[in-house]
Every structure is written in C-alpha cells, then in structure tokens.
Amino acid sequence: MITRSIINKLKNTNKLFNKYLSTVNKNEVDFFSKLSKHWWDESGEFGLLHKMNGPRVQFILERIEETKKEDFLRNNITINSTTPGRDLEGIKALDIGCGGGLLSETLSRLGATTTGIDVTESNVKMAKLHSEQDPYFTPDRLDYQYIAAEDLAKQGEEKFDVVCAMEVIEHVDKPAEFLKTCSKLVKPGGHLFLSTISRTSFAKLLTITMAEDVLGLVSKGTHSHEKYIKPIELANYFKDEIKWFSHSDSAIDGGGFSSLIGSSPILNRLEGQIRGIAYIPWQKRWVLFDEGTPASTLCNYVFWARKPMNQI
C-alpha cells in the first residue's frame, strides 16, 4: 500500500512542479531583503551557508574534473593544464541567487569568469560592496547583476559553462519554469549545479522545527516545507521534461523502500549525480556523502546534471 502511494506521487511530479503561478516570489524577496546586511557575518544568520560553501565547491570541482577526464578518454578532447588553485580557469560561471556573493567569490578565485545574479537588490549591493574591498575582483573576473534568471535568459546574449543555483529552488514559485530557465543558460556540454532540501518529515523537523523554531539558527519563515523537492522528482524531471538524462542509461529509481530510507536515484555518472550533504553539529561542519549512501538525502542534497552536446 505504501509502495503504491509513493509510485502515484512520482507520477504526479509535474503537478508539484507546476502548482505555482510565477517564478519569483515577492514575499521571499522581501524576506531576504531584510537579511541582506548579514551575508558576510560568519557567526550570524548565514553562518551555516558559510560552512556549506566548502563541500558545495568540492562537489562542483569533482564533477567538472571527472567529465574533463572522460571527454579526453572518449573524444580525445585536450585537457588544458591549470594553475594550482585555479581549477576553473577558462570557465564562464553563473551564480543564480548569488545572495551576498559567498559562492560567486569562490568561483572567481578558482579562475572562473563569474557572473552573480539575484532578484533582491540589496543582496546585489552587498555582494558588490564586499567584492570591491578586494582588488582581485575586477569587473572582468566578477560581475553582479540585479536581474532574474528568466530575464537574463530572454536576452539570449550568452550561455555559461557552469550554472549554479544553490539553495534557490525551494524559494521560487513554479520550479518547473525555473529549471527550464536554468537549462537554457547552460552551454551544450556545460554543467548545472543545484543544492536544495528534500520534502520529507525529517527535513521539516531539522530545517523548520529545530533550525527556525527551537534553536533560532535561521529566521522563522526562511523555509516552506511544501516547496521542498525530493531527489527522485528532480531526476525524473530532467529525464522526462528537460531530457538531459537518457532513458536507457540513467538508472532512475528511488520508489518504494529506497524512497522511505532516503536513497537517491543512481544516475549515469556522465549525465548526473545526487549526493546528500549534512551538517554535523559536534564537528561544526558540513559533510558531503558518497553517492547512494542510505538516508543521506533525507534532508539537504546537491544535484549535478550535464547538458547533452546536441542540445542548444
């Protein structure tokens, strides 16, 4: 009975994705406007995001490095050597929902020509103000724009090797349209990285009941459980709608018992990957779990997908 219920929910994934009317949520924008001045306070409201930045960047670098090696082995595409600590040299990166620039600055320091965008004007102002304190961040290395991803995509002027939307999709309306927009901004053969929260009772307990209501680690109202998205829903959406995952090679599973214990779909390693990420309070750090670790995606997880070379 439980298994059948889960299967029916998976069949209705598109209903979940399309239940909202617009992409940018004004209430979310207003909420984060009030918090914008706290972005670079590592002991404040965004302290957990500061700690999460390392594992997220680790995930990005690992996926890009592996695909570079595979491209060389399969297609004899040359791997350009990079300066130590500059793993993203020659790459154009877009950070959607950049906030105060935590990830944007890191991508830029790693060598990527980085653009950070946000729909909260005060966030963009704070990001610019912080980057201006370091002479390294010249406009050709790091640029911030007060613009929605949809409007940037409509301009049609450029696509990016790497597009990141970290801790964003659970704050937008109509996530299906948001994901389509993200996919349009990625170059053929480029990479899309997301981090978000799974829609489980465990995630609600940790991120809302504990983090907001009990411990006050983040402001009340930061999260909405109904907007959380399960890994299987993302995987199936990219297989069936975005069509970045092949039907034959991507072992997209995750229903039944595996869904109950938080196991993620195991994807073709050249097309996508989903891994759990969790905060360990007694160590005061985030841990990136190996792919397929049981229960690892019951709460926070990271998602990677590579755009097929034959898609524009």
Contact call for residues 77 and 55 (beta carbons, < 8 A): no
Residues 253, 236: Cα–Cα separation, whole Å: 9
Helical ranges in the chain per DSSP H: 2-11, 13-17, 26-35, 47-75, 102-109, 121-131, 149-155, 175-184, 201-204, 231-240, 256-260
The reply to whether 271 sits in an annotated binding site is no
Q: Tell me whether residue 226 is annotated as binding.
A: no
Instruction: Tell the burial category of 268 from Cβ atoms under 10 Å away from its Cβ (0-12, 13-18, 19+).
Output: middle
Vertex 46 angle, CA 95 and 65, to 5°: 40
Flag whether 212 is marked binding.
Answer: no
1 appears as a binding residue in the annotation: no
Residue 52 labelled as part of a binding site? no
Closest to 279 (Cα-Cα) out of 59, 50, 106 = 50
C-alpha to C-alpha distance for 231 and 264, rounded to whole angstroms: 6
To the question of whether residue 213 is assigned a binding role by annotation, the answer is: no
Choose among 199, 188, 39: nearest CA to 128: 39
The answer to the question of whether 56 is labelled as a binding residue is yes
Amino acid at residue number 164: C
Beta bridge partners, 197, equal 300
**Gap between the Cα atoms of 10 and 304, Å rounded:** 20
Q: How far apart are CA 42 and CA 230, in angstroms?
A: 29
**Bridge partners for 304 per DSSP:** 193, 273
**Residues contributing to the annotated binding site for Mg(2+):** 167, 170-171
**Residues contributing to the annotated binding site for S-adenosyl-L-methionine:** 56, 97, 118, 166
**Residues contributing to the annotated binding site:** 56, 97, 118, 166-167, 170-171
